Amino acid sequence: MKLQIDEIPNLEETEILIKCREIDSKITKISNYIHTSYITVNGKLDGEIYVLNLDDIYYFEAVENRVFAYVEKNVYEVNYKLQELSEMLSRTSFIQIARTIILNINKIEKVSTLVNGRISAVLVNSERMIITRVYAHAFKQKLNG
């Protein structure tokens, strides 16, 4: 693989071009990382607004018509519906794993199968998430690139 970076001072917008023989799991992961690194989400905590990088977010959860972003030490309220986030993050490392949860697969430490077609994912912060049967197939595909 060759990598070339051209610095062009008067360029209006950064452009990333990937040339490949075929799109494999490595190319998909690179593409997902690029998409993730350019998207931010505003989160509210204690009356203040914070800009959250997707890399820092473990998951989003909808609770009583409100959506929260969970990061390592805090929980922020975001002004999106879960469906909006699902669409916005479709080409990133995030995937819906339950009716109320969208998970960042980059925060997964290990995965195991459970009975009834469900999947258990342990995150790097030791939190355990359950991927329901409805979302298990799409989750496996996303996880395998």
- All structural domains of the chain: 39-143 (2.40.50.1020)
State the chain's mean pLDDT as an integer: 92
Please write the tens of the pLDDT for every residue from 37-92.
778 899 999 999 999 999 899 999 999 999 999 999 999 999 999 999 999 998 88
More reliable by pLDDT, 30 or 36: 30
Identify the helix (H) or strand (E) that includes residue 101: strand 101-104
pTM for the model stands at 0.80
Mean pLDDT calculated for residue range 101-111 = 96
Query: What's the pLDDT at 123?
Result: 97
Query: What's the pLDDT at 145?
Result: 65
